[in-house]
Homo-oligomer: A and B are copies of this chain.
């Protein structure tokens, strides 16, 4: 069967642009905010809408899946390849959206999509336009373009879409759903569509996300607040001890000091460092985005390497003693901190929590007691190896969608459920996403560039065509 030419795919995508936008407009009007219990009905409605649209697209099997043990529904759709030896690909994304507050900062109602002229073509303004409804919907256009351009009646890979309904709430029920439905989700590769690219003119593919371990530390010193005149200087001050413990989490090279913290860290390869270095990174601009005056981090790494490929320890909050107006000269009884660690492959959140306990056991002196409370099991990091066949296929497909522009590699510093997908389904993960850094996801006035969604649809069309050969090599 002939490889679909850029011309045929693009022609199909362009021809169906308006239908696609009309569908997206309808979907974006459903306020599927998973974090708001009052919107649970809308998340169900969003699932029903997506299921119906996937049926209309041609997926022979479409089901709405309720997670075991409760939660909001995911949508599953399957379209089998005709060839018995065709590979199976799971596409992951989500149909729930972030809350919209502060509502007063939106220039138009978040669930009434507005098509506007942007600096580089039309933009669609609405909550979920980029994260993630717009990107999920381009797969409907992509698979139809793939069929139209190749003359097929079924895709060249068996496609299994799994579109979650609780991603913006931390995917609490997703691992359970994956385990329950593992048989139905068996696959050779996983394509995650929930990320972005470096920039409008710099197509790129993300190769991973960091993991997360977080907790609260509570220290206890004297059983009552003590007069600092009568007792100051003669007992441990738990706030001072907390400061010592938190300051001691990093050494003078900016490295995390937990014993064994780096043991499982997969080193950044020279090849990947070179690829990162090719990105047109502007530190002054990055600092403006970070509303910061100076970059700082682990010695020996660039800013991008630090946020994408190196693990971190951050104090998210701290409190203890007297914090009201004026002064109160006490030795306080308690001190508290919230801590989070971003992890990279192949660190494990449970191991890092154990390392923190071992550190505290050693670092907290006599006279002060401590406890650590975790916030769940954390999130494992996820990383696509550079020699991955799926990654190669995605880069190839993106390159074709972007007219041969070199497709660079990035990573994401944040955390998502991708490691669960890879582990439970036992398949390699690659990221196919066309969001832009200025899409304002999670913020007021979220938007998506319409041209990017159309490029995403093209890339998907090429990808299903590339995939059988890529996985066979």
Residues on A facing B (Cβ under 8 Å): 210, 212, 214, 216, 221-224, 226-237, 239-240, 242-244, 246-250, 290-298, 303, 306-307, 310-312, 314-323, 326-333, 335-338, 340, 342, 365-367, 369, 375, 412-415
Contacts and interface: CB of A to CB of B under 8 A. Distances in A.
A235 B366 contact: no
A233 B317 contact: no
Contacts of A294: 235-236, 365-367
Contacts of A297: 233-235
A229 to B, nearest CB: 3
A338 B366 contact: no
A248 B236 CA distance: 15
A234 B303 contact: yes
A370 to B, nearest CB: 12
A233 B293 contact: no
Contacts of A240: 246-247, 249-250, 314-315
A320 to B, nearest CB: 5
A312 B214 contact: no
Nearest to A309: B233
A363 to B, nearest CB: 11
Given A233-B306, A292-B222, A329-B214, A319 B316 contact: no
Contacts of A366: 293-294, 296
Given A229-B342, A232-B314, A314-B233, A221 B292 contact: yes
Given A237-B314, A246-B243, A340 B329 contact: yes
Nearest to A321: B317
Contact of A319 (B323, B369, B413): B323
A318 B335 contact: yes
B342 A228 contact: yes
A367 B254 CA distance: 15
Contacts of A315: 237, 239-240, 243, 321, 332
Contacts of A291: 222-224, 226, 333
A293 B221 CA distance: 8
Nearest to A212: B329
A230 B338 contact: no
A296 B210 contact: no
Contacts of A312: 228, 232-233
A317 B323 contact: yes
Nearest to A254: B233
A62 B304 CA distance: 78
Given A233-B310, A247-B243, A247-B248, A214 B303 contact: no
Contacts of A296: 234-236, 365-367
